Chains A and B, each alone.
Chain A
């Protein structure tokens, strides 16, 4: 059982949770997520939802590195998602190289682009930063429609169905669920490692107070850029997997502000911003709910699913300031709290 509140209930007097303490918990959570796949192994409908949930859990976890820990509320992460998707499409279709090998260049391109476009934007703070990242999404969408040799333009890209592990194309839903679980596992491990490192502390210090961080010798810009690069790299990998999962995508879908950029921030927010496991909880809540609402209400009352999601977000903002994860921690502290 992990400590209910890692901050206020430090094990020893100077006991801080290091990665060595965190790792068993992370691996346990990954195993539990894997167990979900095992439970629904025969049910391809549910496996499909799980695959999407794990993909978005991974994306929200990646977002959380810069958005939650670093406090830089990006709504433009769809840019890195799209870069990953375009990278794999070009490498696989034009160069006939396995999608697996596209993962590394996709991560590198996304990280570089993340650092490059954040450089000017990081001068802005709070809501201004968020608005600038939204504007960035629109700019890059327009550019991608123009440079259609790489992006397929408004026609989009479609990847032919050629079965094979080397092509990252599978017939059964189970394989995709496992693929997305692998992505989620990497994101969780990276997030855990960052949280329990000097960089994680620097990101939190920058989030809390930039002047105090500077006075403590922290290079604020470099810290933000590093956090953004790691976050963008993982998001790019998510884009690779998504492209190979759906096999048909156009720039407006990949750059979608609501379906990608805002959604991953929302999932992290609802699950527990800045926490390691919150985004996974958020995704397991939101993705199935969204699927259900779209199926039940999407046909009869168009847009009703969005209204319900909006209400969920408002309730979270009002009653669960620290997300589901924060509420669970507070509950556990009340039940087992040893502190007087």
Chain B
């Protein structure tokens, strides 16, 4: 008997009325792996993410985490199992300080305020936001907010982090910093599932890429296999005239 995959997505569908936003998608993520999800706008990537984190319930199909069906668990319960996430439109706690944002994540395993603060400070250090610990999260730049979301997820000591277009709107330096950060955390054993449009980033990140188009899984394989595939190119840029 083969051991259950770390994260298994089995024939997962989600319909909104007649729209099949996610349609019979299956793939797995192994422990400590980085997997990228790519696909044109409106392909269903974020819906798929929300099905994995519990923001949405699947219409059919199963999501398994370490063999356990987690389909009925709410987002906060999945967070307790080890799911960290960032949002496509960044969701920081704007009236709280940067450190307090981290603490909110850290409280998952810590009861005491100083304990949570120490863990949050560690997470801020990892994303390079230590200097801004005392500032209000609402005063951060877009790039800093994205890093803060990652820090909040890290303070939860997650087993897998889902990044939803975390690079969007960032400059070259910031992109480089986040790539380095993800590699460092991955080396420490954290798995990543990443929605990304920037193909350079996809190549830098992952051995494995999953392509979603019109809610369906179009292709999966290594970055080189997938990004050179005619079907994938067609999905992205349309049919080329020959």
Residues of A within 8 A of B (CB): 7-10, 13-16, 18, 196-198, 201-202, 204-205, 207-209, 211-220
Contact = CB atoms under 8 A, between A and B. Distances in A.
A16 B79 contact: no
27 contacts: A7-B96, A10-B99, A10-B134, A13-B130, A14-B99, A14-B114, A15-B117, A16-B100, A16-B116, A198-B113, A201-B107, A202-B104, A202-B107, A204-B95, A204-B96, A208-B93, A208-B95, A211-B91, A214-B74, A214-B76, A215-B53, A215-B76, A215-B153, A216-B156, A217-B79, A217-B80, A217-B105
A220 B76 CA distance: 8
Q: Chain A CB within 10 Å — which of B55, B74, B107, B116 has the most?
A: B107
B113 A208 contact: no
Contacts of B222: none
Contacts of A214: 55, 74-76, 79
Contacts of B100: 7, 16, 201, 204
A209 B149 CA distance: 12
A204 B93 contact: yes
A13 B121 contact: yes
A211 B87 contact: yes
Bin chain B's interface residue count: 35 or more
B133 interface: yes
Contacts of A211: 55, 75, 87, 91
Contacts of B121: 13-14
B47 to A, nearest CB: 15
A209 B91 contact: yes
Given A212-B93, A216-B76, 8 more contacts: A16-B114, A16-B116, A205-B93, A208-B92, A212-B91, A212-B92, A217-B108, A218-B104
A257 B123 CA distance: 46
A213 B96 CA distance: 12
Contact of A201 (B84, B104, B135, B149): B104
Nearest to A199: B107
